[in-house]
Amino acid sequence: MFPVGPLAPGGVVGVPSASVTSTRTLSEADSVRLLARYGVPVAPEVVAEGPEEAAAAAGELGFPVVAKLCGDAIAHKTERGLVRLDLGDADAVRSAAAELLAAARPEDGEVEVLVAPMISGNREFIAGLQRDPVFGMTVMLGVGGILAEAVADAVFALVPIVEEDAMEMIDALRTRKLLEPFRGEPAVDRNALARVLVALSRAAQAEPELVSADLNPLIIDAGRPVAVDALVEVSR
């Protein structure tokens, strides 16, 4: 296992990225689909082309929902104000979708609106993959949310890993007390959290073009981890 390191840009902690001549970032929707194939637990979501379709999708998913502008060239949605949270009815979704589509820039290329249930929790983690120039692909787990930069608590392991390795990573977190019952919420399901890390390892083994993956945040909902945002970078 790698030692803990400082938080690096993009949510990955302490491991330098490999020098890859040319890479591209998948849209959030495509990133989620890729990782879900290998067992990463993700929130249900629908990609809509316009406000009416977004409102209909929200009605099927159940309110409240979150809406985000989605496209291959859009990596950092929050910084650009391309996320709308806690939308409670169809009119709010229509308005949000129209605003998001209007905020698209020419360099964003083709864009759509991603609609997903609003999931929140008091505990957030970061999990992901990063290709190290010396050691190869690594899987990581760290504390996320508002504590991420202040605490800088993360651990790494070389791919491939099995569930026993993932459990060792979880136990190596300095802030593992966050896994215990917290503010009226049940303890984190460690087995479920370990399966997230193993699923990431499987994705890295099965997708040789994968350069990095970022699940940030990985929210603890009723004790179980759910990825509500994903970003995957692949070689061209």
47-75 pLDDT, tens digit each: 999 999 999 999 999 999 999 999 988 87
The mean pLDDT value for 32-59 works out to 97
Parallel, antiparallel, or unpaired: how do β-strands 230-235 and 23-25 relate?
antiparallel
Per-residue confidence band for 194, with pLDDT thresholds at 50, 70 and 90: very high
Per-residue confidence band for 115, with pLDDT thresholds at 50, 70 and 90: very high
Q: Do the first three CATH levels of 9-41+121-235 and 46-117 match, i.e. the same topology?
A: no
Structure tokens at 134: 């010396």
Report the alpha-carbon distance of residue 147 to residue 128 in Å, rounded: 17
Residue-range domain boundaries for the chain: 9-41+121-235, 46-117
Average pLDDT across the chain, whole number: 89
Structure tokens at 51: 């406000």
Q: pLDDT over 70 for what percent of the chain?
A: 89
The mean pLDDT value for 78-99 works out to 95
The mean pLDDT value for 33-42 works out to 97
Q: What pTM did the predictor assign?
A: 0.88
Pick the CATH number of 46-117 from 3.90.1150.10, 3.40.718.10, 3.30.360.10, 3.30.1490.20: 3.30.1490.20
- Type of residue at 187: A
What is the architecture, at CATH level 2, of domain 9-41+121-235? 2-Layer Sandwich (3.30)
Residue 202: how many other CB atoms lie within 10 Å: 18
Per-residue confidence band for 133, with pLDDT thresholds at 50, 70 and 90: confident
Per-residue confidence band for 10, with pLDDT thresholds at 50, 70 and 90: very low
Q: Answer yes or no: are the C-beta atoms of 41 and 225 closer than 8 Å.
A: yes
pLDDT at 197: 98
